[in-house]
Amino acid sequence: MFILIRAIVYATAFIGFFLIAIPARVIAWSGLSRPEDFGVAQAAGLAAVVLGALLVAGCILTFVFIGRGTQAPFDPPRRLVARGPYRVVRNPMYVGAALAMSGAALFYRSWPLMAYVAVFLAVMHLFVVVYEEPTLRDTFGDAYAAYCANVGRWVPRAAQKPVWFALIAAGVWVQALDAQPAWRDPSPHQQRFVVVEPSVRLEVLDWGGTGRPLVFVSCYLTGHAYDDIAPKLTDRFRVYGFTRRGFGASDRPEGGYTLQRSADDLLAVLDALQMQKPILAANSCGGWTVTLLAVQHPGRLGGLAYLEAADDPMLTLDDYDFPAVDLAKLPKRIERPPLDYSSFDAYRRTQKVRSGVAFPEAELRHGFGVKPDGSLGPELMSRTIRQAVTSGSRSKPDFARVRVPVLAVFQTPEPFDEVVKEYVIENDEQREALRLRHQVGRIMATRWEKDLRAAVPSAKIVELPGASLYMFLSNEADIIRELRAFAATLQP
C-alpha cells in the first residue's frame, strides 16, 4: 500500500507539471479558449485524452503491483516490468502522456500545444537513451537485453506495426475530415498580453509605427475592430488596440467589470508598455473609461479622442427637448436582407447592407464560434458581462475635470432627403412623422456637444453627418484626418 501511495504522489507531480501546468500555459499564451462547437476534432481529441490518461494510469499500477516500485527514477521497480502495456513498447507511460496532450491539442486545434508534445517526446527520448536504459541494463542485465530485443522503444515490433499505423492513419483521417483552411488575420499587428491582476491577462494589439502612442479603446468590441484603420496611422503614431476584460482573447474573470476597474486595467496596460503621453481614442462606452482615467491621471495622457463616445449615459428622455412623434404614423422601412451566417464573407456583406459597415473578419471570429463547415456558430459574448459593462458601469462623465486636450467627433443624422429613400412613404402624415423622428438624433448630438463644450471650452468638436456609431469604419478617411490634425496641435 505504501508503494501505491508513493507512486500516486510521484504521478501527481509528473502529471500536474508536464501534462497540466505547462500545456495550460501554452494554451493561455496562444490566446485560445474552449471551443464553443463540439465537432469531430473535439470528440477525437477527448477520446485521445481519456485513452492516454488510462494508459498512464495502467503503467503506474503495473509498476506498483508487478515491479514493486514506482515510475520515479529515484524509486524504481525492484523487478523488470515486461507485462501489461510494457509488452507493446518499452515506454508506454511517455506514449500515453504524449497521446493525452496530442488529444488536447486536437481538441483546441492548437499547433503550439502540438509543438510542445514534440518537445516533450524529444526530451523524454534523450532521458531514456542517456539515463534510463543504461541504468536498467546495469540493474537487470541479460533479462533487460532480451526484453529490448523483443520490444521496441517507442514503436511496436513488426507483428504489431499494422495496428500502430492504422491508429496513426485514423488520426490523420480525423484531422483531414474536420480541417478547415487555416485563416490568418491579414492585419499586420503583434498580439500581446498584459497581466493586470494575478489571474487576469488582457489582449493588446500592436501595429507598430512611429510617433506618439495612439490607443483605440472600445466598449464591448475587441482591438481587432480597428484592423482596417490602424495600419493606415502607423506613419504618424505607434498604434495599439485595447481589448477589455471579458471580451475576445482577454481573460473573462467573474468580476471586475466596474468603470473604475476598467480605468485601472487601461492604466496598467499603459504602464506595462511604457507609453508616454498617449492619445486614447475611444468609441461608444469606451469613452466612459478614458474620461475617468483622464480625470484621475491627467499627467499620463497626451489627449482624448472621442469617436462617438462623449455622450452622457445618465441623461433621460426628459432631459432632451424631443418633439412628439406619433409612432403609429411612421412609414414602413424598406425591408433589408437578413444577416447571412453561412460564412464570414456572407455575414460581412449583409452586415454592410444592413448597417453601412462591416466588421473586420478577425473581430467577427472573436465574436462568434466557427462551425466545421465554416459558417458562424453561436455568439461568444457573455450577455451578463456586456450588461455589466454597458449598463452596470454607467455614471455621469466628469468632463469638467478633464485637463488634457480633447477631440470629440459626433455622428449626426444624414440629410432628410437621404433618409426618406429607406422608407415607403404613402402620405404627408407619414413624411412629417418621419421628419420629427429624424430630429431626435440631431437633438441628442446638440445636447452632448453643448455639455462637452461647457465643461471643456477648448475641445475641438467635429460632426460627421450620416456616420455610423462605428465611424472609424464608416468614415475611415475622416477619422484619420481628424486624428492627424489633433495630434499636430499637442505638446510633445
88: pLDDT strictly greater than 90: no
163: pLDDT strictly greater than 60: no
177: pLDDT strictly greater than 50: no
Question: How sure is the predictor about 173, in pLDDT bands with cuts at 50, 70 and 90?
Answer: very low
Ramachandran angles phi, psi of 146, nearest 5°: -65, -40
More confident residue, 401 or 98: 401
For residue 144 the three cell numbers come to: 533487460
Beta-carbon-side half-sphere exposure of residue 483 (alpha carbons within 13 Å): 33
90: pLDDT strictly greater than 90: no
Assigned CATH topology for domain 2-178? Four Helix Bundle (Hemerythrin (Met), subunit A) (1.20.120)
Residue 349 carries which side chain, given as an amino acid letter?
R
Question: How sure is the predictor about 156, in pLDDT bands with cuts at 50, 70 and 90?
Answer: confident
278: pLDDT strictly greater than 90: yes
More confident residue, 471 or 10: 471
CB atoms within 10 A of CB 277: 16
pLDDT for 106 equals 82
Tell which residue, 210, 212, 266, 228, has the closest CA to residue 483.
212
pLDDT for 176 equals 41
For residue 485 the three cell numbers come to: 490634425
What is the SS3 assignment for 349? helix
Sort residue 109 into left (φ over 0), alpha (ψ -120 to 50) or beta: left
Domain 190-488, CATH homologous superfamily name and number? Alpha/Beta hydrolase fold, catalytic domain (3.40.50.1820)
Look at the block and give the residue holding cell 444577416. Answer: 339
More confident residue, 47 or 174: 47
pLDDT for 154 equals 82
Domains of the chain by residue range: 2-178, 190-488
Tell me: the pLDDT tens digits for 36-58? Answer: 556 677 788 888 889 888 888 88
Question: How sure is the predictor about 269, in pLDDT bands with cuts at 50, 70 and 90?
Answer: very high
Tell me: the pLDDT tens digits for 290-336? Answer: 999 999 999 999 999 999 999 999 999 889 989 989 999 999 999 98
Give mean pLDDT, residues 349-353. 95
Please give the Cα distance from 97 to 92 (Å, whole number): 8
